[in-house]
Amino acid sequence: MKRKIIAIVTSLWLIVPVALVCRVAYAYQEVREIPAQVLATVPFAQGTGNIAMSLATGKGFSSPTRHDTGPTAWLPPIYPLLIAAIFRVFGIFTLHAFYAAAALNILCSVATCVPIYFAAKRIAGTGVATLAAWLWVFYPSAVVMPFQWIWETSLSALLAATILWATIALVESRRTRDWCAYGLIWGFALLTNPALGAVLPFLLGWLVYRQQREPEARGRFARPALALGVAFLCCVPWTIRNYAEFHRLIPLRSNFPFELWIGNNEVFDPHSPDINARVTRYEQARLYGRLGETAFMEEKWNIAAEFIRTHKRLELRLTWWRFMSFWLGSFRPLQDFARAETWIQAVLVLSFLTGIGSAIGIVVLCLRRSPYALPIAAFILAFPLVYYITHASLRYRHPIDPIVLISTAIAIVGARRKTPPSASPQQGHVAAPAGTHAI
The string of pLDDT tens digits covering residues 212-256 is 765 555 667 889 999 999 999 999 999 999 999 999 999 999 999
Provide the pLDDT confidence category of residue 427 given band limits of 50, 70 and 90. very low
Domain assignment present for 426: no
What distance in Å separates the CA atoms of residue 295 and residue 231, rounded to the nearest whole number? 30
The rounded distance, in Å, linking the Cα atoms of 357 and 173 is: 31
Please say if the pLDDT value at position 417 is more than 70. Answer: no
431 part of a folded domain: no
pLDDT of residue 47: 92
Orientation angle between helical segments 113-124 and 401-413, nearest 10 degrees = 40
Question: In angstroms, rounded to a whole number, what is the distance separating the alpha carbons of residues 78 and 345?
Answer: 33
What are the tens digits of pLDDT across the range 15-71? Answer: 999 999 999 999 999 999 999 999 999 999 999 999 999 999 999 999 999 889 999
- Domain assignment of residue 258, yes or no: yes
Higher-pLDDT residue of 13, 214:
13
Residues of the domain holding 409: 2-419
pLDDT of residue 319: 96
pLDDT confidence tier of residue 431, bands split at 50, 70 and 90: very low
Query: Is residue 429's pLDDT more than 50?
Result: no
pLDDT digits over 149-165, tens only?
Answer: 999 999 999 999 999 99
d(CA 113, CA 105): 13
| Residue 425: per-residue pLDDT | 33
Query: Is 391 within the bounds of a domain?
Result: yes
The answer to whether residue 439 sits within a structural domain is: no
pLDDT tens digits for range 66-102: 889 999 999 999 999 999 999 999 999 999 999 999 9
Q: How many domains does the chain have?
A: 1
* pLDDT of res. 1: 75
In a domain? residue 292? yes
Q: What percentage of the chain carries pLDDT values higher than 70? A: 90
pLDDT for 376 beyond 90:
yes
**Is residue 395 assigned to a domain?**
yes
Phi-psi region of 247 (alpha: psi -120 to 50; beta: other; left: phi over 0): left
CA angle 92, 94, 96 (to 5 degrees): 115
Average pLDDT, the chain: 89
Mean pLDDT throughout 297-321?
Answer: 95
Cβ neighbourhood burial of 296 (10 Å; 0-12, 13-18, 19+): buried
Contact criterion met (CB below 8 Å) for 236 and 191: no
What pLDDT does residue 273 have? 66
Q: At 96, which amino acid appears?
A: H
- How many other C-beta atoms are found inside a 10 Å radius of the C-beta of residue 278? 7
Q: Is residue 17 part of a domain?
A: yes
Looking at the DSSP assignment, which residues form a beta bridge with residue 71?
A: 62
The pTM of this model reads 0.91
